[in-house]
Structure 1
Amino acid sequence: MGSDRGPKTPELKVLRPEDFDRWWDHLMRAFGGGSVSPEEREQDRSLTEFDRSLGAWDGDALVGTSGAFSFRMTVPGGALVPTAGVTMVSVSATHRRRGVLRSMMGRLLADAHAKGEPLAALHASEPAIYGRFGFGAATLHLYAEIDTARVTLSLPPGTDEIRVRYAEPAAVVQECEAVYAALVPRRPGMLAHRPGWERAGLLDPEDGRQGASALQCVVAERDGEVVGFARFRTKVGWGPSGHDGTVTLEDLCALDPAAQGALWRFLFGIDLMSTLTMRSRPADEAWQHLVSDIRRCRTRLRDAGYVRLVDVGAALAARTYLTPVDVVFEVEDASCPWNAGRWRLTGDAKGASCERTTDAPDLSLSVRELGTAYLGGPTLLSLAAAGRVRELRAGALAEASVAFGSPVAPWVSHGF
């Protein structure tokens, strides 16, 4: 006699260390099955938080993976807020539309809430997926391909006081990490590093270089103190007119304009190179105001960090606001029902509070829109123009939109 029952939703289990290789292989297959170096596998193993990583099992078949990192993210005002860095998400092609992803995301968000993390963040391989779980595109990455044979730089005062020298990347990792750590409070979206993350930028498998050099590093020094660094690769090329090499920037951090200027001057002037390419840079990075011809830099922007408020009250109270704000939000949240309802946000540049209320709402929106605007990038006004935010009290939208802004563009500085 036949059964009318459909297939069961796979069971979620916390990842055991002995299952890591199988779990990781499933993830790699789901992301196209390309060749990945042993070094990358071991790095991922060392950074994985096993108690926050899940496998979805259909009997003895592993059919889904997901996990989270325990981060702290800078928010407007400079506070570091506990954040679940959602990562390693995959579902087997044999188990689509079985509720696997929804089950894993629900578990990850519930766990983050239980841990007291007001925020969650991720990088989306497919942006269409995560909006339905309340994640909004909160930051942008700047990409550029600069014709350094034609573009010159107008450098800031003090640049000539900076010494730039080559260094083995691993030999100066602590000095570079100190520069990065000093920058974290300055820009919303930046992530404070847990132990081990300082070495993630040193990964350099030979089969991943695509014909370019091994990873190179220079540090910028003032009076013997490291005030900036750049990690990059070079690839020599030759054309009918001579050299046509490319510098690919992997990372650059500097504490002040002069240190930045010295590093950019070095990258623009490497022998035999005529193109500087970069990706994943801040949307408002200062070099755009130093170049002689921005059109020959072929810039473009792309969505980057996605943010979700796991605890609306705690998240909105954790940041500061550019201008005084007193507004009641009516929030929809299907994935985290504890957020749904009315919240009164009162705040300014010194601090904020956000509490439950029964007062009449001023703005109506979903938690996705709050995540999009939270770090001060996309505005509530632009979301309202798209029909995503409704103004219920005249003037409330402009008030809140200006208050949510940030003096600098938010930037999630690295993948995870």
Structure 2
Amino acid sequence: MATDANGSPIDLRMLGKDDWDTWYDTLLRAFGGVPEAAEERELWRSLTESDRSIGAWDGDACVGTAGAFGFRLTVPGGASVPAAGVTMVGVAGTHRRRGVLTSMMRRQLDDIRSWGEPLALLTASEPAIYGRFGYGAATFQLRAEIDTARVRLSSLPAGTDAIRLRYAAPADALAACEEVYGRLVPSRPGMLARQPGWERVGLLDPESAREGASPLQCVLAERDGETVGHARYRVKPEWEFAGPEGVVSVEDLAALEPAADAALWRFLFGIDLTSKVTMKVRPVDDAWQYLVSDVRRCAPKVRDSLYVRPVEVGAALRARTYRAPVDVVFEVEDAFCPWNAGRWRLSGDTKGASCERTVDTADVALSVRELGAAYLGGVSLTALAAAGRVRELRRGALAEASLGFGSEVAPWLPHGF
């Protein structure tokens, strides 16, 4: 139980609409206290789901915040599964180490279970925090800084030259961009079906966040009059004594076919007065890596992105399909959500799966954190076993499960929440 300095309980309660400003200011202070632009603040106000958000109160003072968006997550096999997007988590510096975060996590997971959502998701500002609550890093994102003065696109897919590119105002092109995104969602685990209002996040463009770059720009890729891709980006003009050294910052790029993807990257590489293309949130198997002449000069880096936590193990494992046949009994450890603890028999293939409690002998032992990490197919159970985080109890079971859990494409979260 969370307590104040005198040992009295901290009050956890659902967020009231009149409390939003106080609640949100508490969150901003926890993240450094830098004010947000009015347009950004109002967007997050409109997206906040009050009945899925909680505040921790010490008298009249808000000392903790936590929210959960109602999302649908693509899982291996293409199904769109209800999931709680845990967000806006913060604790006042005056109330650290008093159990406030643990109390909010406890309340939140109980709520998510009552809502019938088998998965909880989050992006972690501090990854070390959330493992103890059962969240495992399930997707990763690629960052790169490409020296376009030295790196060229050495090969392009057939049909690239047939793609027509045209500039469009980001707001005017929004519907076309969202249609492309929506068609891509079922094809890659980790993507979120866009709920009403979320399309506006991609248009956020406060001057305070540009760091000297241009306002957001957009180019559409078209084939035979149909939009088949788009790129949203900014350009930061920079000049050295020897000439222009501008930077293109890619904010978002999506394409329905390889030719459109290549045409968009070729455009970004060739923007006048620039010599660098940067990106922060791309899938780790992004195709441009295999088009460039020198990937080393692209300085690729990988970091963690989406963390997944099975809230209901049976329902979560039934919701996805498996790349190869699997029939394995898992011994699951879950001290924080004890209803998940015990043995579960998973039987599945590319067509579907069942996962039920069993008294049969366990084949593989792991915690719910490792199950979350492997859930979307981007983290190998075999690799986790090599780190001592998964134990094989029946010879061959680990290889069987690891192969079944894999994904043809790398899971990816295109945007934060």
Sort the TM-score into its range (normalised by shorter chain). over 0.9
Q: Aligned letter for 2:396?
A: G
Aligned residue in 2 for 1:92: 92
What's the secondary structure of 1:192's corresponding residue?
coil
Matches within 5 A, 1:89-128: 89-128=89-128
Post-superposition CA distance 1:360-406 (Å, at most 9, x none): 11111100000000000111111111111111111111110111100
Query: Matched residue pairs, number?
Result: 412
* Runs (5+) with no aligned partner, structure 1: none
Q: How far apart in 1 are the matches of 2:281 and 2:116?
A: 29
Q: How far apart in 1 are the matches of 2:116 and 2:130?
A: 22
Q: Which runs of 4+ in 1 moved over 6 A?
A: none
Q: How far apart in 1 are the matches of 2:264 and 2:17?
A: 42
1:233 maps to 2:207: no
Whether contact under 8 Å (1:138, 1:371) holds in the other structure is yes
Instruction: State the 1:9 CA deviation.
Output: 3.4
Instruction: State the 1:274 CA deviation.
Output: 0.4
Aligned residue in 1 for 2:167: 166
Aligned residue in 2 for 1:52: 52
What's the secondary structure of 1:66's corresponding residue?
strand
Aligned residue in 2 for 1:18: 18
Q: How far apart in 2 are the matches of 1:9 and 1:280?
A: 41
Whether contact under 8 Å (1:9, 1:99) holds in the other structure is no
Q: How far apart in 2 are the matches of 1:133 and 1:43?
A: 29
Scaled by the length of structure 1, the TM-score of the pair is 0.98
Q: How far apart in 2 are the matches of 1:379 and 1:8?
A: 45
Aligned residue in 2 for 1:274: 275
Matches within 5 A, 1:216-295: 216-295=217-296
Q: How far apart in 1 are the matches of 2:161 and 2:298?
A: 24
1:63 maps to 2:63: yes
Instruction: State the 1:224 CA deviation.
Output: 1.0
Q: How far apart in 1 are the matches of 2:372 and 2:258?
A: 31
Aligned residue in 2 for 1:315: 316
Q: How far apart in 1 are the matches of 2:323 and 2:75?
A: 12
Aligned residue in 2 for 1:191: 192
Instruction: State the 1:35 CA deviation.
Output: 2.9
Instruction: State the 1:240 CA deviation.
Output: 2.5
Q: How far apart in 1 are the matches of 2:409 and 2:309?
A: 20
Change (3 A) 1:6 1:21: closer
Q: How far apart in 1 are the matches of 2:89 and 2:307?
A: 14
Q: How far apart in 2 are the matches of 1:378 and 1:134?
A: 16
Aligned residue in 2 for 1:400: 401
Aligned residue in 1 for 2:132: 132
Whether contact under 8 Å (1:376, 1:409) holds in the other structure is yes
Q: How far apart in 1 are the matches of 2:312 and 2:416?
A: 23
1:41 maps to 2:37: no
What's the secondary structure of 1:352's corresponding residue?
strand
Q: How far apart in 2 are the matches of 1:9 and 1:340?
A: 29
Q: How far apart in 1 are the matches of 2:402 and 2:363?
A: 13
Stretch moving more, 103-112 or 133-142: 103-112
Q: Aligned letter for 1:392?
A: L
Instruction: State the 1:127 CA deviation.
Output: 0.3
Whether contact under 8 Å (1:135, 1:371) holds in the other structure is yes
Q: How far apart in 2 are the matches of 1:334 and 1:280?
A: 33
Whether contact under 8 Å (1:9, 1:100) holds in the other structure is no
Whether contact under 8 Å (1:162, 1:258) holds in the other structure is yes
Scaled by the length of structure 2, the TM-score of the pair is 0.98
Q: How far apart in 2 are the matches of 1:181 and 1:334?
A: 37
What's the secondary structure of 1:171's corresponding residue?
coil
Stretch moving more, 230-239 or 105-114: 105-114
Matches within 5 A, 1:261-410: 261-410=262-411
* Runs (5+) with no aligned partner, structure 2: none
What's the secondary structure of 2:125's corresponding residue?
coil
Instruction: State the 1:6 CA deviation.
Output: 5.0
Q: How far apart in 2 are the matches of 1:225 and 1:395?
A: 49
Q: How far apart in 2 are the matches of 1:7 and 1:289?
A: 59
Instruction: State the 1:172 CA deviation.
Output: 1.1
Q: Percent identity?
A: 69
Q: How far apart in 1 are the matches of 2:289 and 2:16?
A: 47
Stretch moving more, 332-341 or 366-375: 332-341
Q: Aligned letter for 1:61?
A: A
Whether contact under 8 Å (1:137, 1:304) holds in the other structure is yes
